[in-house]
Chains A and B, each alone.
Chain A
Amino acid sequence: MITKTAWKNIWRNKVRSLVVIASVSVGIFAGAFSVAMMEGAMYQRLDDALNDEISHVQITAQGFRDNNDLACLMDNTGNMIDQVRLLEEVEAVSGRIMVIGMANTATKSTGVQIIGVDAENEKALSGLHSKIKEGTGGYLDPSGVENSALIGVDLAKSLNIIRYMITGEVIDSLALLGVPEAVTGKLRPYMDIRFKNEKAFKKELKPVFSQKEEIRYGHMIKEVSQSYREGARFTLTFIDREGFQTGGRFRIAGLYDIPNNMFESSQVFVLRDDLKRLTGLNEGENHMLMIRLKDVDDTREASQKIAAMFPDLETMNWREIQPDLAMLEQMAKIMYGMFMLIILAALAFGIVNTMLMVVLERTKELGMLTAIGMNKKKVFRLIMSESVFLSLFGGVIGMIISKIIISLTATRGINFASYQEGFEAMGYSAHIYPHIGNDFFVVVTLMIIITGILSAVYPALKALKLDPADALRTE
């Protein structure tokens, strides 16, 4: 009867209750959607890092990570790879040779890490082969020409390999992408002018567009105007096994494009055989074995097994290789909880206010209820139930709206293309796919109930302090 009465009571003042319910719904939706965006971005970062950059587990010789010494090798890695492949948790294994060197073009040079990979094995391990920018070529081909390299788009830009040029085709492409004539028209005076790099291109066009146009279309214009000659060449120089400077002229097989700008601008992938030949390393020698697992949740167990198999070597899992990623995962859950706590705390004040008005308005009725025999526990339960119903009703609506909108946006994602540079500078993709687990909703439901209960405490205590005789005299 108390529960039934409480439910009916919240609809006494429909407008007020609907306002409270709406505020709770909006608050929950805002919180859930923000968490979904943050979680989507975080999982994407983690996914990208594990798929494209570091994989799940790495084995190196002791001391290799300290100085990337070329001589710090593992030998007989063929045998090791076969042994690791037998583990049921393991999906793929591949060996890598790694040297620090310089990438040079006629006009620019920059320090890079050169990674010699087994192209076929790498495809099972890393997703880079599917991240080749359209129109720039393809992945490394072992049956192709000697000395081919896969470099990042950002590295290509910093080496001035990517140029910028406005052509008729560029303007047509921009029109197809929805850039209005008023904007593309401003590009016509710059047709057929080749800009040697992004900086020069942006400097020239900055005065042409308004800030709004720059934010809205700048990124698109930059992307479409990129001009790259397939098969462009550059030089890689490094130190060989004997300590002599060596290197070679490399043809760019393709440009890979991933959200992590720092990785893109520093990691060059070449065929293992090419690098082995140039550095003087032997067959079976590798600096690193990269291991991909079937399930990321098996990481700890699998890395312990692998470490036990090779006690003289250093085995590290992704949490140890990039503790900031591991911390991100752990911190994220705490942050989401605190975020929702803050939102619910703010909503609680609204509910407390509403319940105080309820107690004030129903002073006489509460006096009557006490007079006819409703004890303090039941009066408290009545007020608390009304508060919980208000919170829960609003919370459920908020969660339903969140679930619908997150589901709708999860497939297509939300593209923050205008802020792509900023995102990629931090290693994040600008195209975010909101994601939220069902356990979030369970936790939020509990938090809402607790909020409802706590919001009721003060108003309920006010109700309990009422003297029934005085309350009955109220008009």
Chain B
Amino acid sequence: MKVLELKNVHKIYNTSHIEVHAVNGVSIDFEQGEFAAIVGPSGSGKTTLLNMIGGLDVPSEGQILVDGIDLSALKSSQIIDFRMRNIGFVFQSYNLIPVLTAKENVEFIMNLQKWPKAKRDGRTLELLEAVGLADRIKSRPAQLSGGQQQRIAVARALASKPKFILADEPTANLDSKSTSTLLEIMEKLNRDENITFIFSTHDARVMKKARRVITLEDGKVVSDIIH
């Protein structure tokens, strides 16, 4: 089942009378449960593409359909709500809320969606156990290592059972051991929850784990390999 469809997506920036084609006619589809990596050199358009998929940016041309819904047809208030319910984000620099505990960070989105407390607590504990941090419920981000923070971020992204997770360079700030642990956890969650993971990455270890590798160059897809 197609969870995400990109149809001839372009992103053009006009800067100082020069047109920059950050994304140049990308057409790809993603199925439910995929574990895909978008790779390419700096400036290849990975982050721009991910931003458009996540509804943070609007394509200059083309369509992005999430579960059949055209993102460009949504108003800005609708798109924020759509993101909350359907898309999970994992950022390069974790971006946890520093004043909240691990538990509060994970349940933040569930709170925004007004989940009942019992259901919220259950899901939070389940996810913290899945990422191996059930014993750090009351810790604040400053009390956690980089790897642990990123695991909390993954748990947060999965909290409301989104259609897919977008992870922009999730391992860029982690050491090799933390990277391995994180990738194992994400792989397991991908299998157990059947949630699509789409990474943008330079990291060879991520590419190795990914079951599909899409290579971008100058905003175009130059290869799309399924292992």
Contacts and interface: CB of A to CB of B under 8 A. Distances in A.
Contacts of A8: 99-100
A203 interface: no
B99 A372 contact: no
A373 B95 contact: no
A382 to B, nearest CB: 11
Contacts of B109: 372-373
Given A371-B83, A372-B89, A374-B80, A364 B95 contact: yes
A349 B111 CA distance: 33
Nearest to B77: A375
Interface stretch (B50-58, B131-139, B198-206): B50-58
B91 A472 contact: yes
Contacts of B104: 1, 4
Best-surrounded residue of B80, B84, B91, B93 (most CB of chain A within 10 A): B80
Nearest to B98: A12
B43 to A, nearest CB: 14
Most chain B CB within a 10 A radius of its CB, from A12, A364, A468: A468
Given A12-B98, A365-B97, A373 B84 contact: yes
Interface in B59-104: 77, 80-81, 83-85, 88-89, 91, 93, 95, 97-100, 104
Interface residues of A, number: 22
Interface SS majority for chain A: helix
Contacts of B156: 372
B111 A371 contact: no
A362 to B, nearest CB: 10
Contact of B95 (A5, A11, A365, A374): A365
Contacts of B83: 371-373
B197 interface: no
Nearest to A468: B56
A469 B22 CA distance: 14
Contacts of A372: 83-84, 88-89, 108-109, 156-157
Contact of A1 (B77, B93, B111): B111
Given A372-B84, A375-B77, A9 B56 contact: no
A11 B140 CA distance: 14
Nearest to A9: B99
A8 B89 CA distance: 24
A131 interface: no
A298 B182 CA distance: 79
A5 B54 CA distance: 25
B208 to A, nearest CB: 27
Nearest to A12: B99
A378 B108 CA distance: 12
B91 A368 contact: yes
Nearest to A374: B112
- Sort chain B's interface into a size bin: 20 to 34
Interface string A458-475: 000000000011001000
A96 B206 CA distance: 104
Nearest to B92: A472
A375 B114 CA distance: 14
A378 B112 contact: yes
Interface string A1-15: 100110011011000
A85 interface: no
B80 A376 contact: yes
A370 interface: yes
A472 B50 CA distance: 13
A9 B156 CA distance: 20
A364 B89 CA distance: 14
Contacts of B97: 5, 365, 369
A4 B101 CA distance: 12
Interface string A199-226: 0000000000000000000000000000
B160 to A, nearest CB: 8
Contacts of A374: 80, 84, 112
Contacts of B93: 364
B99 A469 contact: no
Given A1-B108, A1-B111, A375 B100 contact: no
Interface in A23-75: none
Contacts of A469: 51, 56-57
Nearest to A370: B80
B79 to A, nearest CB: 10
B111 A375 contact: no
A402 to B, nearest CB: 31
B99 A11 contact: yes
Contacts of B88: 372
B80 A373 contact: yes
A229 to B, nearest CB: 78
Nearest to A373: B84
A374 B93 CA distance: 19
Contacts of B56: 371, 468-469, 472
A96 to B, nearest CB: 73
A159 B6 CA distance: 105
Contacts of B51: 469
Contacts of A375: 77, 80-81, 84
Nearest to B84: A373
Contacts of A4: 104
Nearest to B95: A368
A373 B99 contact: no
Contacts of B77: 375-376
Nearest to B85: A373
Contact of B54 (A364, A365, A371): A371
5 contacts: A12-B98, A371-B83, A375-B81, A469-B51, A469-B57
Given A369-B97, A371-B56, A469-B57, 13 more contacts: A1-B112, A5-B97, A8-B100, A11-B99, A365-B97, A370-B80, A371-B89, A372-B108, A373-B84, A468-B56, A469-B51, A469-B56, A472-B56
Interface of A: 1, 4-5, 8-9, 11-12, 364-365, 368-376, 378, 468-469, 472
